[in-house]
Structure 1
Amino acid sequence: MSPEREGAARRSPVRDRDVVTADAIVAAAGEVFARHGYEGGTAERIADRAGVSLGTVYEQFPDKDAILVALVERHLDDASAALTPLLTDMVTQAPPIEDGVCRMLRALVALHRTHPALHRVLFEEAPRPEALRRRLERTVEAAVEAVHGYLVARPEVRVPDHAVAAQLVVQVAESVTHGLVLHPQDGADPEAYVRETERMLVRYLTGR
C-alpha cells in the first residue's frame, strides 16, 4: 500500500467518527431548540443532549450559528427529498391544475406538521446567517422554477405572466400552510383552510 493510501486508511476512522459526532450534535440541537427555543438552546444544553463535552461541540462547530446552519440544511434536505419527486411529477405528468395544486398544498402541510416546534424556531426565532439565507433562496427558486414549468404545461392556466404566477403560488402556499400548522386559530378547521386555499389558487390560475 502506498504511503498516501496508508495515510488515508489511518485517517478514515477519525473522519467517520467526526461525521457521527457532528450528526449527533446537530440532531441534539434540533431537540434542544424545539424545547428551549434558539436563545435558550445553549451549547451546554446541546452538548449534554448529544452526550459529548462542550469542547467536542466546539471542535465540530465554531459557534451556535454554525450548528443552526447545519440543522436548517438537514431540514431543507429532508423537505427537498419529499417535495422534489412531487414537483418533478407535476412538470413531467402535468396533472389537471386542481390536482396539482391540491397535491402541493397537502405535501406542504404534511412537511410543516413533521416537527412544528422546531420549524417555528428555525424560521421565526433564529437568526439567518448569510449561508443560511442563500440556501433558503436556492430552495425557493427551485420550487418556483418547477411550478413555472407546470403552469406553462397546463392549457387551462390563463394568467398573463406564468413566471409571476409561479412565484405567487409558491409564496401563498408556503405562507398559508406555515400559518395553518404553526399558528392555528382557535376553532379553525385545517381541512377547510386547505380547501379554500386550493379554490383560491385554482380560480386565480384559471379564471374559473
Structure 2
Amino acid sequence: MATKQRLGARKQPLQQRSRETVAVILKAAARVLEQRGLEGYNTNAVAERGGISVGSVYQYFPNKDAMTLALIARFEALLLEKARAAVAASEGKGLKASLDLVIGGLLEAHAERARLNRILEIEEDRLQPASGDLSAAAELKKLVSTLLASHEREIARPVDAAAVEDLIVITRAMVDHALQKDLSRPVAARRIMRAVEGYLHAR
C-alpha cells in the first residue's frame, strides 16, 4: 500500500489554478522525456522546462515515477477514446472492416508523439503493477470483447477472456514494433491485420 501511495499523485488538483499547474508539469515532463529520454528525466529538469519551482512539482508529484504514471494514464485515456470511437463506428460492418477501424485507431494514438509513447510503453511495464490502476485495461478488454462478440460467427476460436487478452497483446506489441521500425501506417496496418486475422481464424 505504501508503494502505491508513493507512486501516486501527492494531491488532486481541484481548483482551476491547480489544474493549470499540473498541466504545465505534465507538458514539461512529456517534453523532457521526448528530448532527453529517461537518462535526462528528473524533477529538476521538468521544473526547469516548465518554468516553475521544484517545490511546485513536489506539491503534486512526489517523484518522477508519479509524473510518468500520470502521463501513462493520459495516454491510456487517448487509447480508450480511439477504441470507443472505433467500436461505435464498426456497428453494422463486417469483422475485417471493424478490426481495421480498431487497428487504425491504435496506430493513430501511438503515432501521435511516437517517441514519447514508446518510452511510456516501456515504463508502463515497470510501473503498472505498483500503480494499482487497472481500470483502463479493464475497459479496453470490455470494448474488444463487445466487438468480438458481435462477430462471433465470423471467428473460428471461442470468444473468451483469453482470446480478448491475446488479441490486445498481439495488436499493441505489433503497433509498438511498427513504430520502432518506422513503418508507414498502411504497411503497419496490413501486417497487424494479417496477424490478428490469423489468430482469430485459427482453430
Q: TM-score, normalised by structure 1?
A: 0.78
- Secondary structure at 1:141's aligned position in 2? helix
> Alpha-carbon deviation of 1:24?
0.5
* 2:95 matches 1:97: yes
**2: CA distance, partners of 1:82 / 1:179:** 19
Structure 1 residues 103 and 206, CA gap change in structure 2 (3 angstroms): same
> Alpha-carbon deviation of 1:29?
0.5
Question: After superposition, where does 1:31-180 map in structure 2 within 5 Å?
Answer: 31-90=31-90, 93-125=91-123, 127-128=126-127, 130=129, 132=131, 134-135=132-133, 137-154=134-151, 155-180=153-178
Q: Report if aligned partners of 1:69, 1:131 keep a CA contact under 8 Å in 2.
A: no
Structure 1 residues 24 and 193, CA gap change in structure 2 (3 angstroms): closer
* CA distances 1:31-76 after superposition (whole Å, capped 9, x unpaired): 0111112241121111111111112211222222221222221222
- Secondary structure at 1:95's aligned position in 2? coil
Give 2:141's aligned amino acid.
V
Q: Report if aligned partners of 2:83, 2:143 keep a CA contact under 8 Å in 1.
A: no
- Aligned CA RMSD, in angstroms, stands at 2.5
Q: Report if aligned partners of 2:25, 2:57 keep a CA contact under 8 Å in 1.
A: yes
> Alpha-carbon deviation of 1:176?
0.4
Structure 1 residues 22 and 190, CA gap change in structure 2 (3 angstroms): closer
Give 1:82's aligned amino acid.
K
Deviates more, 1:123-132 or 1:69-78: 123-132
Q: How many residues align?
A: 188
**2: CA distance, partners of 1:171 / 1:29:** 27
User: Match for residue 28 of structure 2?
Assistant: 28
> Unpaired runs of 5+ in structure 1?
1-13
User: Identity across aligned pairs (percent)?
Assistant: 22
> Alpha-carbon deviation of 1:115?
1.0
- Secondary structure at 2:154's aligned position in 1? coil
Q: TM-score, normalised by structure 2?
A: 0.80
- Secondary structure at 1:78's aligned position in 2? helix
* 2:194 matches 1:195: no
**1: CA distance, partners of 2:130 / 2:88:** 26
Give 2:98's aligned amino acid.
G
Q: Report if aligned partners of 1:65, 1:129 keep a CA contact under 8 Å in 2.
A: no
**2: CA distance, partners of 1:119 / 1:57:** 22
* CA distances 1:59-98 after superposition (whole Å, capped 9, x unpaired): 22222222122222122222222222223444xx252111
